[in-house]
Amino acid sequence: MPKKYHIATKVTLPRFHPVGKYAVVEFREDCAGSCEECVKKKCVYEIFKNDYEYLKAMEEPEYLYTCQNCFRCVQECTKGIFSRVINPEYRLLGDDYWQPDIIQQTWYQAHTGRITVSGAGYRGPFVGEGFDSMWTDMSEIVRPTRDGIHGREYINTTIELSRRPLRLEFGEDMSLVSDVPPILEVPIPVVFQRPAFGMLGQNVLLAMVKAAHKLGTLILLQPEDYIDTLTPYSDSLLPCLTRDNYQDYTDLIQRSRIVELAYEPGIESEFETLLSIKPDLFIAVGLRLNSDAASVGLRLAHTDVDTLHFYADGHGNELDTERPRFLKDMIREVHLKLVENSLRPKINLLFSGGIAMAEHMAKAIVCGADGVAIDNPLLIALECRLCPQCLEGKPCPVKLGEIDSEWGAQRIMNLMGAWRNQLLEVLGAMGIREVRRLRGEVGRSLWFEDLERECFSPIFGERKVAGIR
Amino acid sequence: MRQIQLPEPVRTPSRFRNAIGKYVIKRNSRCISCGLCAELCPYGVHIRYDKYSKPLRPRDYKCIGFKCKENAFFCVERCPQQALTLRLNPILETMGDYRWTAEMLIGHWEMAETGDIPVADLEYSVGSSGGGFDKLRFKPPDPKDYLDIGDKYVDTSIELNKRGDGRPGKTISIPCYGAGMSFGSTALPVMLGRARAAQRLNILSCTGEGGYPEELVPYADHVITQVATGLFGVREETILRAPVVEFKYAQGAKPGLGGHLLGDKVTPEVAAIRETVVGSALFSPFPFHSVYSVEDHKKHVDWAKEVNPRALIAVKVSTPSDSDMVAVGSYYAGAHIIHFDGSYGGTGAAPDIAKKNIAMPIEYAIPKVHRFLTEEGVRDEICLMASGGIRTAMDVAKVIALGADGAIIGTSELVALECIRCGKCESGRGCARGIATTDPELGHMVVEEWAEQRVVNMYLAWRKQWCELLRQYGMRSIRELVGRTDLLVHLDYLGEDERLKFEPSSLSLAVL
């Protein structure tokens, strides 16, 4: 049996105190003074004790990240001088898609390598837009669950980025006659992608590349990103080239296992030239995820392409339209088009744009993707706050450009370790031991519209409100 | 006419000096301590002891807020020095969440304190999750149907053994019982308080999967022994003393996943009860490794029935897409109670990805299962219990109208004990409020008598709400409400004009 895949996580402290959700408000004018019952001394999480340390060093107190919102200081102070507010800085993190809690959870995972765990049930909306309008299924009594997390059963998260023959031919002596093309595997259904913005200095890119290398996955880079320090990691680099420029980068192609060509009509005519540069090269094509995506994907599936990579916008929306559909519906469209034409098993589909959490990865695969490409989570793992400061030419609040690449690589590995464990949770609950079996398995998912129709329509009739909420 | 004997409510205030309410009353330095406010306020917001001249801080959590303006005793208006100010408590934005809003928490704390329906204008029945229970409303009743009978003549009891299989009947006085929360995940006084409350209310509590502490034995007639995949503390005597044996196949907090008790929480006491090693993290397997079919499941049920001929058998499952098949399978395996635990519930720590994403909400599962069991012709022979995100008395009523016989309550009981839903049950020493912890110091913040009465009070306040609802529909028993989906509307299934007749979903102040 091949060696079991494992991601080595290690606690990797943030360099800056993360933005906390809560802020303690203290009306000190009402303080009793030398109160022996002072709640600051009793804090279970010792946040005020840490605060003293900051004060000793004459630094700004920072107890916001560590406050766990237990309310004991508010409720036990003899004079009732404590109150609390939501940290205004927390509200400003990210945007309406990359919400503060996503950013904070990503920080936590990059810091600890652990999945986020909390008590007291789910606390969010009943249903939401996009991926939040579907649930994944679980097994009960029959089709037993699989225990991948605790290592009792191995759950494989490997995907392939190489195309497959649609049929195998055997000779009369039952020997294999067909040519079996080489296989390109990545051990997690995630590849990395150069973020569209951010302080992408050498150290940052090197951190991402090192993480991709250690994880055994790939990172999509523009040829101008290539610097000498990346050369040892060529196996993990996936250059994104165009019809116009790829012939300028033959050395880069020769060093790579796979390249991505930006789609344009007739791009398949370049494959032969590409393969003449490196015969065992795997070829991906990058396409805009728009209304033509499914039909273009189908056309390309007839060629020697290995993987199609569809780009949605940063919020997971369809491109080139005023009324965009979300990634999950677009993935279904592309996937089903290939299924209907019996070509789905031949090639692989990657999707990027708006993949923000581990659950998005799992749900994208349920919808029909083989894997996803992520960008912003890599930056957030390095403490990025998704603030627009760098775009405005202002200094980065977390000095992203100054990171140590080893530190950064470990933070990204931690994040991926946590994501993979979450994928194992979802797969384990469904009783699936192989992520490739999850692809397009909508039968193991529950969709809001279906549940409303099945469970509520017989009772309440026709739904009159369009949309989710 | 059948009368229900229930305990009396006893005022049981907060453990904390500064209880949190919806409103804040501040007294400024202009106060001359004339004592007028203390004389006026019938809710006890203002305190003044005769021999003290200094005014005390108002107990503003008792304040009924701006609606008091219409009263002659409105302290802010009447204060001769205009020393009082009233405003909405700004801390509310940091409390609660979409499902349990700040007002719902405060309302339940008040119910647990008084045993009565809150007097302040709190929305304690509906959350702001924007779906499920929060979009379901009861239709306005026909005034002609109103039954003018007292609460004690309204039957809120349900029967747990409907099989008629020769095993004892088990009637509980309200349509709820306590969810399984193990020793180890909650403090012993919490566990005991809940069991004592169950005894007084003639309902049940549940050991959870963490074994059966000896301290629970006096209440054994009201304690379910849970058999979960880890089989911790499952022994012949714990099966023998149980009125109900519950097989836990899955739980809503982490459907399809096993329990995990961190090593720090495996204290010598926990290890002894679970028969494991101190400090060693405990994992429950995801599935029962002995069950791969309904036939295997039946062997489980038969085994427990054989060991304890008096026990009823409950089967706790979560809510997969084939919930209906699971229910009918459990019926044919011989279960008395099939318990569906929906995906949004849970008390202890669970992976966030599981709580949010795995399995369906209970609001969908119950009508689906109820309909299927009815079509199979076996609905009347099995008790269908719902849990997982059932927060309030009205949620219980709604899930019964959707088809359940009753509900199983975990989080709300903990909220009665002043859980604030910070969600940090597992971190560090465990719950900072002394509920979900075995820390030697924190674990004693709760006194079992206090816990008992708070839980009793909350259920008594819930019962008042059920009684009023049933009277309005002319029903004498909550059993008449089962499956009465015709009494419910879903706001999203109404035209705009119709929708305006109902209370809209409240907006959330919560920041995720």
Amino acid symbol at B169: G
* Per-residue confidence (pLDDT) for residue B289, from 0 to 100: 82
- A450 band by pLDDT with thresholds 50, 70 and 90: very high
Chain B contacts of A70, Cβ < 8 Å? 420, 422, 424, 432-433
Least trusted range by pLDDT, from B302-316, B435-449, B460-474: B435-449
- Average pLDDT over chain B reads 92
Whole-number Å distance between alpha carbons of A213 and A225: 16
Chain B contacts of A121, Cβ < 8 Å? 99, 252-253, 344-347, 355, 388-389, 411, 421
* Per-residue confidence (pLDDT) for residue B51, from 0 to 100: 64
N- to C-terminal Cα separation, chain B: 50
* Per-residue confidence (pLDDT) for residue A176, from 0 to 100: 93
Torsion of CA A51, A55, A60, A65, to 10 degrees: -10
Chain B contacts of A142, Cβ < 8 Å? 292-294, 329
Does B23-88 match B155-467 in CATH topology? no
pLDDT in tens, A262-295: 999 999 999 999 999 999 999 999 999 999 999 9
* Beta carbons within 8 Å of B322's beta carbon, 6+ residues apart: A140
B98, B288, B343: residue with CB nearest A135: B343
pLDDT at A22 over 90: no
Whole-number Å distance between alpha carbons of B167 and B311: 7
* Per-residue confidence (pLDDT) for residue A462, from 0 to 100: 95
A22-91: in CATH 3.40.600: no
Whole-number Å distance between alpha carbons of B350 and A138: 15
- Convert B440-509 into a string of H (helix), E (strand) and C (coil): CCHHHCCCHHHHHHHHHHHHHHHHHHHHHHHHHCCCCEHHHHCCCHHHEEEHHHCCHHHHCCCCCCCCCC
Out of 3.20.20.70, 3.30.9.10, 3.40.1370.10, 1.10.287.1080, the CATH code matching B155-467 is 3.20.20.70
> Tell me, what's the ipTM?
0.93
Tell me whether residue B289 is exposed, middle or buried, using C-beta atoms within 10 angstroms of its C-beta: 0 to 12, 13 to 18, 19 or more.
exposed
Element (H, E) at B177: strand B176-178
Is residue B217 within 8 A of residue B195, CB to CB? The reply is no
Whole-number Å distance between alpha carbons of A344 and A337: 8
Q: Which two tokens stand for residue A141?
A: 């009594």
A159-450: in CATH 3.20.20.70: yes
Whole-number Å distance between alpha carbons of B275 and B268: 10
- A148 band by pLDDT with thresholds 50, 70 and 90: confident
The verdict on a CB contact (< 8 Å) between A71 and B354 is no
Mean pLDDT along residues B109-118: 97
The verdict on a CB contact (< 8 Å) between B512 and A141 is no
Mean pLDDT along residues A57-70: 66
A74, A115, A125: residue with CB nearest B129: A125
Phi-psi domain of B377 (left: phi exceeds 0; alpha: psi -120 through 50; beta: other): left
- B287 band by pLDDT with thresholds 50, 70 and 90: confident
pLDDT in tens, B80-94: 999 999 999 999 999
Is residue A365 within 8 A of residue A373, CB to CB? The reply is no
| Prediction pTM value | 0.95
CB of A155 less than 8 A from some CB of B: no
Q: How many of the other CB atoms lie within 10 Å of CB of A367? A: 26
Give the up-direction half-sphere exposure of residue B342: CA atoms within 13 A in the CB hemisphere: 29
More confident residue, B121 or A57: B121
N- to C-terminal Cα separation, chain A: 49
Chain B contacts of A426, Cβ < 8 Å? 353-354, 357-358
A120, A138, A462: residue with CB nearest B347: A120
Q: Which residue has the tokens 């060529």?
A: A234
Q: Which residue has the tokens 């652990």?
A: A114
The verdict on a CB contact (< 8 Å) between B98 and A123 is yes
Nearest to B286 by CA among B229, B326, B248, B247: B229
* Beta carbons within 8 Å of B71's beta carbon, 6+ residues apart: none
Give residue limits of the domains in chain B. 23-88, 155-467
Whole-number Å distance between alpha carbons of A387 and B240: 62
Least trusted range by pLDDT, from A138-152, A180-194, A426-440: A138-152
More confident residue, A129 or A30: A129
Smallest CA–CA separation between B39 and chain A, in Å?
23
Pairing of β A134-136 and β A159-160: unpaired
What backbone torsions phi and psi does residue B265 show, to the nearest 5 degrees?
A: -85, -5
Give residue limits of the domains in chain A. 22-91, 159-450
The verdict on a CB contact (< 8 Å) between B353 and A464 is no
pLDDT at B292 over 90: no
Mean pLDDT along residues A189-198: 92
Q: Which residue has the tokens 């009306």?
A: A27
Closest alpha carbon within chain B to A462: B493
Whole-number Å distance between alpha carbons of B349 and B365: 23
pLDDT in tens, A285-344: 999 999 999 999 999 999 999 999 999 999 999 999 999 999 999 999 999 999 999 999
Q: Tell me the CATH number for domain B23-88.
A: 3.30.70.20
Greatest CA span in chain B, whole angstroms? 78
pLDDT in tens, B362-414: 999 999 999 999 999 999 999 999 999 999 999 999 999 999 999 999 999 99
* Per-residue confidence (pLDDT) for residue B503, from 0 to 100: 80
- A55 band by pLDDT with thresholds 50, 70 and 90: low
Whole-number Å distance between alpha carbons of B118 and B106: 9
What backbone torsions phi and psi does residue B245 show, to the nearest 5 degrees?
A: -105, 125
* Per-residue confidence (pLDDT) for residue B273, from 0 to 100: 87
Mean pLDDT along residues B256-271: 79
* Beta carbons within 8 Å of A191's beta carbon, 6+ residues apart: A161, A212, A217, A218, A219, A220, A238, A350, A371, A372, A373, A374
Chain A contacts of B290, Cβ < 8 Å? none
- Average pLDDT over chain A reads 92
Mean pLDDT along residues A139-159: 83
- B421 band by pLDDT with thresholds 50, 70 and 90: very high
What backbone torsions phi and psi does residue B411 show, to the nearest 5 degrees?
A: -55, -45
pLDDT in tens, A210-221: 999 999 999 999
Amino acid symbol at B135: K
pLDDT in tens, B195-229: 999 999 999 999 998 889 999 999 999 999 999 98
Is residue B251 within 8 A of residue B346, CB to CB? The reply is yes
Q: How many of the other CB atoms lie within 10 Å of CB of A76? A: 18
pLDDT in tens, B96-109: 999 999 999 999 99
